[in-house]
Amino acid sequence: MTTATAQPAPVTARRVRHTRGLPGDRGWRNAFWVLVFLLPSAVPLLLFTVIPMGASIWVSLHKWNLISAPKYAGVDNYVRLLHDPQTGKLFLHTLGYIAGYLPLVYLGGLGLAVMLNKKLAGRTFFRAAVFLPVITSWVVVALVWQWLLNPANGVVNAVLGALHLGQPGWWTDPDWAMPSIILASAWKDLGFVMVIMLAGLQAIPSELQEAATVDGATGWQRFRRITLPLLSPSSFFVVVISLINGLQVFDQVFVMTGGGPQGATQVVVGQIYNLTFRYGRAGDAAALSWLLFVLILVITAAQLAGQRRWVTHA
Amino acid sequence: MPSAVRHFTTTLAESPEPVTDRRGMPPRRIARPASRITVGRIALYLGLIACAFVMLFPFLWTVVTSITPGGTLSQGPTLFVKNPTLDAYRTLFATLPMWRIVLNSFAVAVVATVLQLITGSMAGYAFGRMSFRGRGVVFGAYLATLMVPLQVLVVPLFIEMKVLTLQDTYFSLLAPSMASALGVFLLKQAIEALPRELDEAAVIDGAGHLRIFTTIVLPLIRPSLATVAILAFMASWNSFLWPLVVIRSPELMTLPLGLSALHGQYTTAWDVVMAGSVVSIIPIAVVYVLAQRHIIAGLAHTGIK
């Protein structure tokens, strides 16, 4: 009955809009076509994103090993997670990964972009070489680097040995395991960052650089005062993407170290996987994914707020 | 936005030097001491060659290892293999249904890409061209799903597949990548940028939404479709966590999953693991060589905004 009383309003609304829309935009016919165009995307998003997301809240409030019946546990899972010293370590490892990875890919990608923005012979080759790891899957990258950094018979330690330098245990040593993962990850993503920065560099009007040169600015001054500020939208994008992806790091860790040695590289998503599929604690895993989600939301919001302050547009 | 892609691709190719500047004068050249340029150039080239070496050597090493006889690997690596052999590849293909796995990876990536193009362009048309009540709210809801990474969804999605008894099927591999809110967003932007006069003229000719969409809109947003296709293909091709969670049978495995399983089985047989890596790099490297410009422009496109 409420529908009957609510009906007149949409009709007028539609009429008003009709004057602005296409001649065919009216009534049931329009509704039919809107549904035809929207349902193919709305149904999968609803089924495989929205519903699992809602279900995940429910799971996080239960004790469940995915086999026997789930038991309601209230916020116990969250309380336990927040009190568990292990949780802090997970986030610390994840942030440690980001802290090592981000400067490497950002500075490396920026440097390569600046070098490859010049006109030089073989530029296409260099760009392709740097970009090749980007299209290689994480699993392959992790395996290849596990082999390169093999402590016993890997090529990196062979070279270090020949130079009479120290031969770290790399991914088998708790102190070197995270640096090994960072190295492999930076190698893979360098080309992606380069492409983003290159696009940013090419969007900078060349008149600005020329004017500064005429005014006697040195190369460094031009880079510091013109290039870097005008690259800030690209830098911003790289930092946001790296942070969000870094918080979700999993593939390379799973393949290279499996979270070891001695839990030294256990990261948040790795623990979500272990809790669910190794320890049968789906409730804890769901609660942990919500903690991760909230952290991602907070960081994204903080960065969007900060964007206005430090992004300069040409 | 399509213009941004075009701008980028043209500047990526050698852009011709302007013969004259805006006032019709020949371009000004800022003179610099010649010696500094050459020293700088040499340093630049040395730096770039070092970088290219670091980027390419791991690939070379992968190939070299895969043809090294297994027994000699433990004695330390050599670049020039004495008795190259394809044994590792034989072991690889005997252990795993590799052809099937490569085919799976391709099929899943292609189907996911096609689905995302269809669902994304249709939704993009609805949001960019149709007027209906609650359009803003629905679009906001689409964008909200962008905030939810798959990593967070993995547990409930797995449970859902289990409840529907769909785990370990091709359908379950595809389920989370049938529609992407990012694709909808990019295509909506592209469709909104098209001049309205085009479809108004078509309406006068008696065309409906379906005809406007297929004959006018789709051909005009091809650059954005290419971007979405590349993002979708690469995401599916590289996807690991979801297949790891939902697939058990070797016949349904995709390459990353197959490789990870191989690694679990042959922890120290690096020749076999590297052979598997070579097999999984080759198909995507071929795709890359064929579509290099589009791939780079497509990825750069996501960064410009």
Count CA atoms closer than 13 A to B256's CA, side-chain side: 28
Is the confidence at residue A201, as pLDDT, over 60?
A: yes
CB contact under 8 A, B54 and A187: yes
CA distance B302 to chain A (A): 8
pLDDT the model gives residue B36: 54
Is the CB of residue A15 less than 8 Å away from at least one CB of chain B? no
Q: In this predicted model, what pLDDT tens digit does every residue of A108-125 receive, in sequence order?
A: 999 999 988 888 888 888
pLDDT range class, residue A16, cuts 50, 70, 90: very low
Put simply, the chain A residues between 257 and 286 with a CB less than 8 A from any chain B CB are: 269, 272-273, 276-277, 282, 285-286
Put simply, the chain B residues between 43 and 62 with a CB less than 8 A from any chain A CB are: 44-45, 47-48, 51-52, 54-56, 58-59, 61-62
pLDDT the model gives residue B76: 64
pLDDT the model gives residue A314: 52
Q: B25: left (phi > 0), else alpha (psi -120 to 50), else beta?
A: beta
Compare CB distances from A139 to B122, B148, B256 and report the shortest one's residue: B256
Give the Cα separation of B75 and B92 in Å (integer): 22
pLDDT mean over A188-215: 88
| Full DSSP string of chain A | -HHHHHSHHHHHHHHHHHTTS-TT--HHHHHHHHHHHHHHHHHHHIIIIIHHHHHHHHHHTEE--SSS--EE-TTHHHHHHHH-HHHHHHHHHHHHHHHHHHHHHHHHHHHHHHHHTS--TTHHHHHHHHHHHHHS-HHHHHHHHHHHT-TTT-HHHHHHHHTT-----GGGSHHHHHHHHHHHHHHHHHHHHHHHHHHHHHTS-HHHHHHHHHTT--HHHHIIIIIHHHTHHHHHHHHHHHHHHHHT--HHHHHHTTT-STTTT--HHHHHHHHHHTS--HHHHHHHHHHHHHHHHHHHHHHHHHHHHH----
Give the Cα separation of B216 and B214 in Å (integer): 6
Give the Cα separation of A196 and A110 in Å (integer): 9
Q: In this predicted model, what pLDDT tens digit does every residue of A226-262 receive, in sequence order?
A: 888 888 888 888 888 888 889 989 999 999 998 878 8
pLDDT the model gives residue A26: 61
pLDDT the model gives residue A2: 38
Helical pair B270-303 and B87-95, crossing angle rounded to 10 deg:
80
Q: In this predicted model, what pLDDT tens digit does every residue of A52-84 receive, in sequence order?
A: 988 889 989 988 888 888 888 888 899 998 998
Instruction: Tell me phi and psi for residue B42, to 5 degrees.
Output: -65, -45
Q: Could you tell me which of B258, B230, B233, B234 has the C-alpha nearest to residue B244?
A: B258
Q: In this predicted model, what pLDDT tens digit does every residue of A34-45 receive, in sequence order?
A: 999 999 999 999
Compare CB distances from B241 to A30, A158, A250 and report the shortest one's residue: A250
pLDDT mean over A7-34: 57
pLDDT the model gives residue B8: 35
Q: What is the share, in percent, of chain A residues with pLDDT greater than 70?
A: 90
pTM of the model: 0.82
More confident residue, A216 or A190: A190
Put simply, the chain B residues between 258 and 297 with a CB less than 8 A from any chain A CB are: 259-260, 263, 270, 273-274, 276-277, 280-281, 284-285, 287-288, 292, 295-296
Tell me the pLDDT of chain B (305 aa) as tens digits. Answer: 333 333 333 333 333 444 444 444 455 555 554 445 688 888 888 989 999 999 999 999 999 989 888 766 766 667 777 778 898 899 999 989 999 999 999 999 999 999 999 999 999 999 999 988 889 999 989 988 887 888 888 888 998 998 899 989 999 999 999 999 989 999 999 999 899 888 888 888 888 899 999 999 999 999 889 889 988 998 899 899 999 999 999 999 999 999 999 988 887 788 899 999 999 999 888 888 888 777 777 777 665 44
Beta bridge partners of A62: A72
Q: Chain B contacts of A187, Cβ < 8 Å?
A: 54-55, 58
Tell me whether strands A71-72 and A62-63 are parallel, antiparallel or unpaired. antiparallel
CA distance A221 to chain B (A): 16
Is the confidence at residue A280, as pLDDT, over 60?
A: yes
CA distance A16 to chain B (A): 11
Q: How many other CB atoms are there within 10 angstroms of residue A111's CB atom?
A: 15
pLDDT the model gives residue B115: 97
Give the Cα separation of B21 and A211 in Å (integer): 14
CA distance A109 to chain B (A): 11
Give the Cα separation of A288 and B217 in Å (integer): 43
Is the CB of residue A199 less than 8 Å away from at least one CB of chain B? yes
Give the Cα separation of A140 and B58 in Å (integer): 11
Q: In this predicted model, what pLDDT tens digit does every residue of A138-182 receive, in sequence order?
A: 999 999 999 999 888 888 988 898 898 888 889 989 999 999 999
Compare CB distances from A248 to B14, B149, B179 and report the shortest one's residue: B149
